[in-house]
Amino acid sequence: MVVLEREAESGSPWRAAPLGRRGLFATSIDAFYRRGMLPQLRAAGHTFPGAPGPSAPRIVGHFAGMMIDGSVIDPAAAPYQLPRPAPGMLMTSLTEIEEILAARAEHLGVRVHYGAAVTELTQEDKGVLVRAGDDEYAARWVVGCDGGRSTVRKLAGFEFVGTEPQFTGYTMRATIPDLDKLGTGMITTTPTGAYIRMSIGQQVGHVAIMDFDGGAFDRSRELTRDYLQSVLRRVSGTDVTIEEVQLASSFTDRAMQTTSYRRGRVLLAGDAAHIHSPLGGQGLNTGLGDAGNLGWKLAATVLDDAQDDLLDSYTRERHPIGARVLDWSRAQVEVMRPDAHSRATRSLLRDLLATRDGATYAAQKVSGACIRYDLGDQHPLVGRDVPDFHLEGGSRLGDLMHEGQAVLLDFSADRALRAPVANWANKIRYSALPARDNLGLAAVLIRPDGIVAWAVDHDPDRGEFEHAAGRWFGKPVLPAAAR
Ligand SMILES: Cc1cc2nc3c(=O)[nH]c(=O)nc-3n(C[C@H](O)[C@H](O)[C@H](O)COP(=O)(O)OP(=O)(O)OC[C@H]3O[C@@H](n4cnc5c(N)ncnc54)[C@H](O)[C@@H]3O)c2cc1C
């Protein structure tokens, strides 16, 4: 496997904190944990910026800048909960995430070619030809993870549809001697827009601005000091002075998504498949979710000749999640517009978010805890992220998943599934260890991405298990007739 990266090297200043600071939510943190990368993430992670001291509310995210107080959330709302391996939210940076993932890729023998910008792509029957600089690569499959302006998406002819922007956003690092004239809230909303001041007590400030101009800024124009100062003054309603701009970039809340995540042998993940405003910190989390969902399916396809349908389940499962995230960000833009109607809706929502049901609903949306893929099974745990069972002997489920295999937890008294699982031994790791709390389950089959593929509360039925294993992990080693 080869990764082609346009940048000549890692370490862009845009990726380091504070400009590259990003919030990871529970589902993403769990994904790192299940591959043994939680210690690295914890070492890199920080608490939520602006979160007050221990006695103050536990902030678990925000909706349009309105904080969601974790202490108000109903813990019983999500079914099948067990203590998690880490806090529900960690602030880290793109640089740190890139470093952790690059180390993992290297450990797995993946080659990363820097300075390799993809410029041409041709699909053929059995593969894809990709050109990057002077080099041509013949690949069986290509995954475009090349961001919101994805070249792969364009070259492969994906349909990209959605809504046009309502604001232009700017992020900058600039010398601002009177930075203290700006508010320090998570997001400061004003009669003309909103802004975020990311550094406190320094003259070199990191600021993000939302200017409700209908996304009118011409992105080919230079972002000069005078221009940025005029926007910042207008939006903040202050006479703040920008002395020098070191870095600046613009973005919008254009919300678009490809109609499918697969075209032949080309797949898309992350911003290449869906773009939206950064409000609520969902883009990276959604992209990591895409990668986790696609990775094992593509590996099974390449290595095992899995049924074609397995790869198509990627779009089926992830496209609705992307669409929900786009709507979540659109809804936030709607209540941040600087007009009387939006202000009224915002005030109403603020009251709702302070209630138990409101905070629980929003926290589940933000964290991804509400995600449940429709896998056609009635058991309420199927299609959800698996809880982290504590197993006898001190290990936890996450410890069994480091190598990226599926896991079968057999809590039944007579270890009923030990024999049938042997037929998938190269794909499914079997554990018959009892759990400290098995949540009333008799058996759970977990996909490599941590999603429950099959679960039963009663004595497990061999046939039911074999059906589920066959559906997700292909044919058994020994066909039924030979057993
Ligand atoms: C101000 C701001 C704050 C945000 N905060 C959050 C947050 O808190 N939480 C969150 O979840 N999300 C957040 N996001 C969104 C998040 O940063 C993005 O969704 C995420 O970085 C997208 O990752 P990606 O890998 O899909 O794309 P990118 O990060 O854009 O990476 C694409 C990569 O592809 C490379 N590339 C591009 N073209 C080519 C080519 N032709 N050939 C080879 N390589 C190429 C690029 O160099 C780059 O390395 C924020 C975004 C912004 C702007």
Determine how β-strand 255-258 pairs with β-strand 128-132. Answer: unpaired
Atom of ligand 1 nearest to the CA of 287: 26
Which fold would CATH assign to domain 397-482?
Glutaredoxin (3.40.30)
Per-residue confidence (pLDDT) for residue 9, from 0 to 100: 86
Instruction: Share the mean pLDDT of the chain.
Output: 91
Instruction: Specify the CATH class of 168-252 in words.
Output: alpha beta
Q: What is the pLDDT of residue 53?
A: 41
Q: Distances in Å between the alpha carbon of 292 and those of 151, 452, 476?
A: 22, 14, 24
Residue 85 reports pLDDT greater than 50: yes
Tell me the CA–centroid distance for residue 15 and ligand 1, in Å: 9
Mean pLDDT, range 471-481, rounded to an integer: 75
Mean pLDDT over 308-313 rounds to 92
Amino acid at 230: S
- The CA 149 to ligand 1 mean position distance, Å, reads 10
Summarize pLDDT for 54-77 with one digit per residue, the tens. 444 477 888 998 989 888 999 888
Residue 270 Cα, ligand 1 centroid: separation in angstroms?
8
Ligand 1 atom closest to the Cα of residue 285 is: 11
**Predicted confidence (pLDDT) at residue 347 exceeds the cutoff of 90:** yes
CA of 29 to the centre of ligand 1 (A): 18
Closest Cα to atom 6, ligand 1: which residue?
A: 281
What pLDDT does residue 18 have?
80
Cα–Cα distances in Å, from 375 out to 182, 271, 316, 406, 451? Answer: 49, 25, 10, 16, 10
* pLDDT interval class at 16 (50, 70, 90): confident
What average pLDDT does this structure show over 355-382?
92
Instruction: Indicate whether 359 pLDDT > 80.
Output: yes
Given the CA of residue 23, which atom of ligand 1 is nearest to it?
8
pLDDT at 252 over 90: yes
Q: Are 12 and 274 in contact (CB under 8 A)?
A: no
Which residue has the CA at smallest separation from atom 33 of ligand 1? 146
Q: How far is the CA of 213 from the centre of ligand 1 (A)?
A: 24
CB 286, CB 322: distance < 8 Å: yes
Return the number of other C-beta atoms located less than 10 Å from residue 456's C-beta. 21
- Three-class HEC string of the chain: CEEEECCCCCCCCCCCCCCCEEEEEHHHHHHHHHCCCHHHHHHHCECCCCCCCCCCCCEEEEECCEEEEHHHCCCCCCCCCCCCCCCCEEEEEHHHHHHHHHHHHHHCCCEEEECCCEEEEEECCCCEEEEECCEEEEECCEEECCCCCCHHHHHHCCCEEEECCCCEEEEEEEECCCHHHCCCCCCEEECCEEEEECCCCCCEEEEEEEECCCCCCCCCCCCCHHHHHHHHHHHHCCCCCCCEEEEEEEEECCEEEECCCEECCEEECHHHCEECCCCCCCHHHHHHHHHHHHHHHHHHHHHHCCCHHHHHHHHHHHHHHHHHHHHHHHHHHHHHCCCHHHHHHHHHHHHHHCCHHHHHHHHHHHHCCCCCCCCCCCCCCCCCECCCCEECCCCEHHHHHCCCCEEEEECCCCCCCHHHHHHHCCCEEEECCCECCCCCCCEEEECCCCEEEEEECCCCCHHHHHHHHHHHHCCCCCCHHHC
Q: What is the mean pLDDT of residues 334-361?
A: 95
Quote the ligand 1 centre to 271 CA distance (angstroms). 6
Contacts of 135-139 spanning 24+ positions with Cβ under 8 A: 137/2, 137/4, 139/2, 139/265
What residue ranges do the domains of the chain occupy? Answer: 2-161+257-367, 168-252, 397-482
Cα of 96 vs centre of ligand 1, distance in Å, is 13
> 18 CA to middle of ligand 1, Å?
15
User: 246: CA distance to ligand 1 center in Å?
Assistant: 20
Distance 50 CA to ligand 1 centre (A): 24
Pocket test for ligand 1, best of 9, 10, 22, 198 (most atoms within 8 A of CB): 22
Q: What pairing do the DSSP bridges indicate for beta strands 406-410 and 428-431?
A: parallel
Instruction: Please give the Cα distance from 212 to 252 (Å, whole number).
Output: 10
β-bridge pairing 160-163 and 255-258: antiparallel
Q: What are phi and psi of 43, to 5 degrees?
A: -65, -35
pLDDT above 80 (res 246): yes
d(CA 202, CA 477): 63
The number of CA neighbours under 13 Å toward the Cβ of 263 is 20
Report the atom number in ligand 1 closest to the C-alpha of 22: 8
Residue bearing the CA closest to ligand 1, atom 49: 5
> Is residue 372's pLDDT more than 60?
yes
pLDDT tens digits, 109-121:
999 999 999 999 9
At residue 48 the predicted structure's pLDDT band, cuts being 50, 70 and 90, is very low
- Name the residue at shortest CA distance from atom 13 of ligand 1: 281
Is residue 49 scored above 50 in pLDDT? no
135 versus 45: the higher-pLDDT residue is 135
pLDDT for 51 equals 42
The residues lining ligand 1, judged by C-beta closer than 6 Å to any ligand atom, are 4-7, 22-23, 94, 117-118, 145-147, 151, 171, 208, 251, 270-272, 278, 281-285, 287
Determine whether domain 2-161+257-367 maps to CATH 3.50.50.60.
Answer: yes
Rounded Cα gap, residues 123 and 275, in angstroms: 25
Of all protein residues, the one whose alpha carbon is nearest to atom 4 of ligand 1 is 278
Q: What is the pLDDT of residue 54?
A: 43
Please state the atom number of ligand 1 nearest to the C-alpha of residue 286. Answer: 11
Give me the helix-helix angle, 283-304 and 26-34, nearest 10°.
Answer: 40
Radius of gyration of the chain (CA): 24
User: Over the stretch 256-293, which tens digit does the pLDDT of each residue have?
Assistant: 999 999 999 999 999 999 999 988 779 999 999 999 99
Residue % of the chain over a pLDDT of 70: 95
- Residue with the smallest CA separation from ligand 1 atom 38 is 146
How far, in Å, from the CA of 136 to the mean position of ligand 1?
A: 25
Query: From CA 434, how far away is CA 444, in angstroms rounded?
Result: 12
167 or 479, which is more confident? 167
Q: Is the peptide bond before 18 cis (omega within 30 degrees of 0)?
A: yes
Pocket test for ligand 1, best of 198, 284, 290 (most atoms within 8 A of CB): 284
The residue whose C-alpha atom lies closest to atom 52 belonging to ligand 1 is: 278
pLDDT digits (tens, 9 = 90+) for 184-227: 877 888 888 999 887 655 667 889 999 999 999 998 899 999 99
How would you label 357-390 residue by residue, b for 16+ Cβ within 10 Å and e otherwise?
Answer: ebbbbbbbbbbbbbbebebeeeeebbbbbbbbbb
Task: State yes or no: pLDDT of 147 exceeds 50.
Answer: yes
Residue 479 has a pLDDT of 53
- Band the pLDDT of 317: cuts 50, 70, 90: very high
**Calpha distance 405→445 (Å, rounded):** 11
